[in-house]
Structures are given as structure tokens and as C-alpha cells.
Amino acid sequence: MKRKALLALLEQYRPTEEEKPFLEKTIAFVGEHPDCFERFLEEGHITASSWLLDKTRQKALLMHHRKLDAWVQLGGHCDGDPNVLEVSLKEAKEESGILSIAPISSTIFDIDIHEVPAKGEMKAHLHYDIRFLLQIRSDVSAKENHESKELLWVTKDESTLPTKSRSIVRMFEKWKKRN
């Protein structure tokens, strides 16, 4: 029952050609695993993240993730919560230090599947990442936290992107097309 709302969101989503395999695999994964929202599911789990825009929608916030040593969007584990939009909002608030954040839309903005490498006792596993477009509603500055090495606002000029990761570039391209 907890998976029903996510499956409905996934069925409504119209992916890019690049995302079609991600969507199909995510639907299959959710259908096969009642515990798909739990971090303890070793082969992988659902995560929720965001493409977080500033108040003017002219900048997006990225984080240099401390553990992964890579530039990523804000987001994280569902830890049993099946409401992926709420998890996306919670993670954006925690990782940016900004509390005044709201969804631009309740529909999926992007979908991705990526491997998280083994580290310590944690085995390599997949993140089935559901992403939403969010916006800051105030002029408060972002603050780094224990998960980040750095936070960076990027503009719609691709030269401001600190990574060539296809996952990030795809969201960047979608954002540029919106306005």
C-alpha cells in the first residue's frame, strides 16, 4: 500500500529518452520490493532529491558531497517514508539550511538510477532517485552542513556547472528549457 502513491507518480511521468530505462527499472523495482523505501535493502532503495532554485528561479543549488566527493543535487534516503516529495523537501531544507522551500510542482522533474560505491561495511548499491523541482521562498543564504564540503549556486550558463555528470547536466538542461 505504501508504494501505491509512488507508482501512480511514476506512471504519470513522461521521461526523456535517456530516462526511459530508469523509469522502467524503477517501476519494476518498486513493484518487486515492499521495503523499497528502506535503507537496509542492500541491493538498493528509493531516494528523493531536488533541483533547488533560488527565489528568482535563475540559480540552482548544488552540493559537493563529503562522502561521495562529487557534486550532486540535494537529496537523500527515504528511511521508510513513502512520500517522496516530502522527503525531497525535508532533505533540501536539511542540506541547504533554508527552511522556506516549496515545490514548484508535485510531479516528478527527473528520475535517475545510480550506483553508490562500497564504503566501509556498506556494500555498493543502487539509488532509485526520484527528483522534484523546488524553489526557495526567501532571501536566506544556504549553509553548509556535515554532509557537504561546499554549496554552490549555478546559473543558466553551463560554464558555472562544477561537474560533467550526465545526471546533473540532464537536470540543468531541463531547467534551462523551462524559461
Residue 1 pLDDT = 61
Averaged in consecutive runs of 10 residues, what is the pLDDT profile of the chain (179 residues)? 92 98 98 96 96 96 92 96 98 95 97 92 94 93 85 96 97 92
DSSP per-residue string spanning 44-86: EEEEEEEEEE-TTSS-EEEEEETTTTEEE-EEEE-TT---HHH
The CATH class for the domain spanning 4-178 reads: alpha beta
Any idea what DSSP says for residue 34?
Answer: T
The sign of the CA dihedral 64, 168, 55, 76 is negative
Nearest to 108 by CA among 60, 155, 49: 49
> What residue segments make up the domains of the chain, in order of their start?
4-178
